Structure 1
Amino acid sequence: MNNIPFNKPYLTGKEAHYIYQAVYSGKISGNGIYTKKCHEFFNDKYGFEQCLLTTSCTDALEMAAILLDIKEGDEVIMPSYTFVSTANAFVLRGAKIIFCDSRIDHPGMDESQIEALITLKTKAIVVVHYDGVACDMDLVMDIANRHNLYVVEDAAQAIDSYYKGRPLGGIGHLAAFSFHETKNIISGEGGMLVVNAPEFAKRAEIIWEKGTNRSAFFRGEVDKYSWVDVGSSFLPSELISAFLYAQLENLDDIQQKRKQHWTQYESELKGGGLTGIQLPQLPPFASNNAHMFYLLCESSQFREGLIDHLKTSGVYAVFHYLSLHKSPFYLNKHDGRELPETDRYSENLVRLPLYYQLEANQITKITQLIIQFCNSYHN
């Protein structure tokens, strides 16, 4: 039996070639030719003003927290249904996290609840574009502007996705992307900070370069570089950038294939007369970048049974985030509010295999197994 894994990294064929070129270029540390090529790609395709590749999305988020001067006692509003890095970046600076519940129709944060969570200590709103599906950014930016708050887009899953025609990652003051091997575009590990607010541009580059004005020195803008701010070694080596560039060159092809798989899942499951599960719903203002295909089960027992049923036939589906407000680390720090929608997604959501090399007959096998389980579960 040929197993179907949850994820399989896709190689375009140019990765090793570009890494070879980077190795023999004489510069394999960060901010070389392939780093610049990647920056130019995002500048040209999406109009991002300033892009800084990082070794992870976590690093990009940590840079954002430093840029916003998050300090002990500051409050940061974000969803509870997200990866720990979203919160960790701000906890490291001393912030208190104020968790927002998810939407009824989508795992993303319920934007209508944000304003009620704002206090005099609130410094920033961090939105997470879960599944590459946009939050209502007009509403979020309006709230932020009226309360003089910063907005950070956690766009880890949101490459090549849009809000009312605007690329995600280009709307908030800052944004963070991921190129982890589970994402649409990968470099093994890797990420990127996007700086949309001009007032952060100069300092972002300094933080990126370990708190020095090294980049300005190499551009001939200063006669020596020195330690001028806090920072860390956030920029990736040229090997990571070279790998990433090979992926970016094939972004349109990768996206077309993933969307084809996503559409097949939706079509076959919609026609299956399913009971016990809900298919993904897309808000009218958002595009779909086919980052994942998930199902929302009627109960945790149903989800557990479905995952086991698929696994028995060699198909590996997985659940996703556990509610951060109930995590061992933050349970006693949370303000005690119930977040029922967050818990519903945490307990009932299952993600299906979705990657470039997935074949149509494999998707059909998966959907038939799901339909089979749904029919037997309720009989």
Structure 2
Amino acid sequence: MTPAVPIPFNKPYLSGNETTYIEEAVRSGKISGDGLFTKRCHQFFEQQYGFQKALLTTSCTDALEMAAILLNLQPGDEVIVPSYTFVSTANAFVLRGAKIVFADSTALNPNLDVSTLEALITPRTRAIVPVHYAGIACDMQAIQALATRYNLIVVEDAAQAIDSYYRGQPLGSFGQLAAFSFHETKNIISGEGGMLAINDPRFATRAEIIREKGTNRPLFFRGEVDKYGWVDIGSSFLPSDIIAAFLWAQLESLDRIQAQRKALWQSYFTQLAPLRKIGVGLPMLPDYASNNGHMFYLTCTSLAERTALISYLKARQILPIFHYQSLHQSQFYASNHDGRVLPWADFYTDCLVRLPMYYELSTEQQQRVIGAVLAFYEKR
């Protein structure tokens, strides 16, 4: 019997023009940051999604760190962040001396529970950082209402949310600032890479300066100053134009990539729907949110069940993964947490499992995954 071909969790998709554009960038003689392809990408995001200013970065982490610098945080300032998220969401603000106040997730999905936010706001609160988990929108209308009432900045962590919407408006266009990821596991990729979207003009010029090591070099190149120098704090957050060239090839194929990922997501959802009768959770979209096909996950009924499911699938050459660990219980930050129990963050930590999801996942491969998941639960 021929062994089954392994099905990985992720496989980066190449549209076909990546190496062509990289070669074009190299031949242009300008492969450092802010070259031809970087400018094309900036223009695309600003026109396609209405971001007031887009700045490519070397990662989503860097975009978040730029946002934290722009907030002028002082030690003791507080930033509200979901506990169930990647460490960069919190770490960017910890690096500026902020205290992280963790919000719990909802029973509906891993996004932060907006109903709990007002109780977390104090006179030291400076910002709310909603994370659009799996590309599914947080309730931005409610978050913005709170932010307006208490004069807070909203920084959207839209790492997984490219081409996803809240009531028809693109995610990343609500907060004063928003961070995106183009890591190889995302819908649109450049290997590593990210972007800061700036929707408040008071941050635009300073963001350019921070991104260019704290110098006003971008203003010099536009002829707005006669020389450039060190005018602020910053770092080297801008990517090579080679990375932007790769990203541009992906953006040209955005519609095709999105259509395929959404079709895969829908196939998972339809065929695994019977599992809900035995308590297994499937992704749930609020009526205000769209689906960008970023990931497909299940929530098991216990950590033991999830462990058994992952082992069962791995034995059949299928690689699922679990996801984040609750940050309020992390080794690094648990001692700084205020002691509140965050049951839903811990539930997703223990019970959420992500299934293989990538553009080239074939119908046959997906049926193997679906069949194995259903078989696991039939045996139980």
Q: TM-score range by the shorter chain?
A: over 0.9
Q: Which amino acid letter does the alignment assign opposite residue 110 of structure 1?
A: D
* Deviation per residue, 1:302-351 (Å, 9 max, x gap): 00011111111100000000000000000111111000010000000000
Q: Secondary structure at the match of 1:98?
A: strand
Q: Which runs of 5+ in 2 are unaligned?
A: none
Q: Which amino acid letter does the alignment assign opposite residue 241 of structure 2?
A: E
> Which residue matches 2:50?
47
Report if aligned partners of 1:210, 1:232 keep a CA contact under 8 Å in 2: yes
Let me know the Cα RMSD of the aligned residues.
0.9
> Which residue matches 1:269?
272
CA distance in 2, matches of 1:112, 1:272: 29
* Deviation per residue, 1:33-77 (Å, 9 max, x gap): 000000011011111110000000000000000001112110000
Change in 2 beyond 3 A, CA 1:116/1:273: closer
Report if aligned partners of 2:114, 2:143 keep a CA contact under 8 Å in 1: yes
Q: 1:305 aligns with which of 303, 308, 313?
A: 308
> Which residue matches 2:254?
251
CA distance in 2, matches of 1:249, 1:274: 41
Question: Which segments of structure 1 move beyond 6 Å, counting only runs of 4 or more?
Answer: none
> Which residue matches 1:79?
82
* Deviation per residue, 1:282-305 (Å, 9 max, x gap): 111100001000000000010001
Q: Secondary structure at the match of 1:356?
A: coil
CA distance in 1, matches of 2:78, 2:50: 31
CA distance in 2, matches of 1:361, 1:71: 54
Matched, 1:339 2:342: yes
> Which residue matches 2:181?
178
Matched, 1:293 2:300: no
What's the offset of the Cα at 1:96? Answer: 0.5
Q: Which runs of 5+ in 1 are unaligned?
A: none
Q: 1:111 aligns with which of 80, 96, 114?
A: 114
What's the offset of the Cα at 1:273? Answer: 7.2
Q: Percent identity?
A: 62
Q: Secondary structure at the match of 1:177?
A: strand
Change in 2 beyond 3 A, CA 1:305/1:131: same
Report if aligned partners of 1:268, 1:364 keep a CA contact under 8 Å in 2: no
Report if aligned partners of 1:274, 1:374 keep a CA contact under 8 Å in 2: no
Q: Secondary structure at the match of 1:97?
A: strand
Q: Which amino acid letter does the alignment assign opposite residue 294 of structure 1?
A: Y
What's the offset of the Cα at 1:24? Answer: 1.0
Report if aligned partners of 2:276, 2:282 keep a CA contact under 8 Å in 1: no
Matched, 1:356 2:359: yes
* TM-score (normalizing by structure 1): 0.98
CA distance in 2, matches of 1:39, 1:330: 36
Q: 1:36 aligns with which of 36, 39, 43?
A: 39
CA distance in 2, matches of 1:279, 1:93: 37
> Which residue matches 1:164?
167
Figure out how many residues of one structure are paired with residues of the other and give that number. 377
Q: 1:194 aligns with which of 187, 192, 197?
A: 197
Change in 2 beyond 3 A, CA 1:274/1:366: farther
* TM-score (normalizing by structure 2): 0.98
Change in 2 beyond 3 A, CA 1:212/1:273: closer
Matched, 1:25 2:28: yes
Q: Which amino acid letter does the alignment assign opposite residue 28 of structure 1?
A: I
> Which residue matches 2:283?
280
Q: Secondary structure at the match of 1:114?
A: helix
CA distance in 1, matches of 2:58, 2:369: 34
Q: Secondary structure at the match of 2:184?
A: coil
Q: Which amino acid letter does the alignment assign opposite residue 110 of structure 2?
A: P
Report if aligned partners of 2:132, 2:157 keep a CA contact under 8 Å in 1: yes
